Amino acid sequence: MKLANIVKRCRVDEPKRFRLADHDPGERFGLSTNLDDVRPILADGIARITELQQRLYARGQWGVLMVLQGMDTAGKDGVIKHVMSGINPQGCEVHAFKAPSAEELEHDFLWRTGKDVPARGRIGIFNRSHYEEVLVVRVHPEMLKRQNLPPVATGKDIWKHRFKAIRAFERHLARNGTLVLKFHLRISKEEQRERFLARLQEPFKRWKFSPNDAAERDHWDTYMAAYQDMIRETSTEYAPWYVVPADHKHVAWLVVSAAIIEALDRLRLDYPKVTGKALGELKKVERALKAEQPESAATRSKHR
């Protein structure tokens, strides 16, 4: 299957009809289970993203916000490491959002992510995001008490209002030149169990594990319901969700890579063209540099 068709299958274009159960975490789309077989495709994607990022940075008109959401071990860090490996660090920032700080709790729930939205010409990656406020907080509503909200903000419609606020926030970003791409890395409960065991059994991976991670498995079904509701309510034309099967890590990397390339291609990014007086000045500098007497090897060596 062509990558373009795979991306289309993962993008949620009809959110009201969306069912999380229709998306198999182990889906491979006919791709090989062997990473070595798809390395050339992944390498081509990385190279293409590298080129598109250079154009994005040079043009300076668009910003790109990538949102990565998924259960523990779904592979968010792996996507950043492998898909974005060709990115120039000067044009990219990664923000990992964990439990909110005391300062963050003093503001509205969009404040801490809103201040880290990427500037034009840059790529921003949110490893978890503002969506934690309609996922983990929804699964654990007792967390709302820490936010010290007034009663009017904690009524029965709180999640409906938060979804509406998120849609408005992302629409605002899109209208002002930010491309918003959201990826839900969908992992199965069994695959998560195996990845947890791998972390526990390998000393150099144990630091990644927290007993709280395993405790969250007791709320698996509640999380799945929250994810389904979240995607139904916030997948839009201007900020779509992609539900990416993540049981096979390399499949997730390929899907995310292809989705990024497709979205950036639609921006028709060109390098800025220098014309008129500015071009004349550059030509003048070029002529002056060519007219300089080249240094001899001995002189160059002396200057070192």
Which structure tokens are listed for 279? Answer: 């071009």
Reply yes or no on whether the pLDDT at 1 is more than 80.
no
pLDDT value, residue 248: 97
Q: Which of 80, 280, 112 is nearest to 185 (CA)?
A: 80
Residue 196 has pLDDT above 80, yes or no: yes
Say whether pTM exceeds 0.95: no
pLDDT at 152: 86
The domain segmentation of the chain, as residue ranges, is 3-275
Sequence-distant (≥ 6) Cβ neighbours of residue 52 within 8 angstroms: 261, 264, 265, 269
Concatenate the DSSP letters of all residues of 137-157 into one string. HHHSGGGGGGGT--GGGSSTT
Asked if pLDDT for residue 300 goes beyond 80, the answer is no
Does the pLDDT value for residue 304 go beyond 70?
Answer: no
Identify which of 37-41, 141-145, 182-186 has the greatest average pLDDT. Answer: 182-186
Distance (Å, whole) CA 237 – CA 174:
10
Give the model's pLDDT for residue 294. 81
Q: In terms of residues, how long is the chain?
A: 304
- Please report the pLDDT score of residue 303 as a whole number: 62
- Of the pLDDT bands very low, low, confident and very high (cuts 50, 70, 90), residue 301 is low
State phi, psi for 273 to the nearest 5 degrees: -100, 130
User: What fold does the segment set 3-275 form as a domain?
Assistant: Rossmann fold (3.40.50)
Q: What is the pLDDT of residues 99-113, one digit of tens each?
A: 999 999 999 999 999
pLDDT average, residue stretch 240-259: 97
pLDDT of residue 149: 92
pLDDT at 200 over 80: yes
| Half-sphere CA count of 168, side-chain side, radius 13 A | 7
Q: Which of 72-81, 210-219, 233-242, 282-291 has the lowest mean pLDDT?
A: 210-219
For the chain, what is the mean pLDDT? 94
Percent of the chain with pLDDT over 90: 84
> Does the pLDDT at position 73 exceed 90?
yes
Nearest CA to 255 among 48, 29, 96? Answer: 29
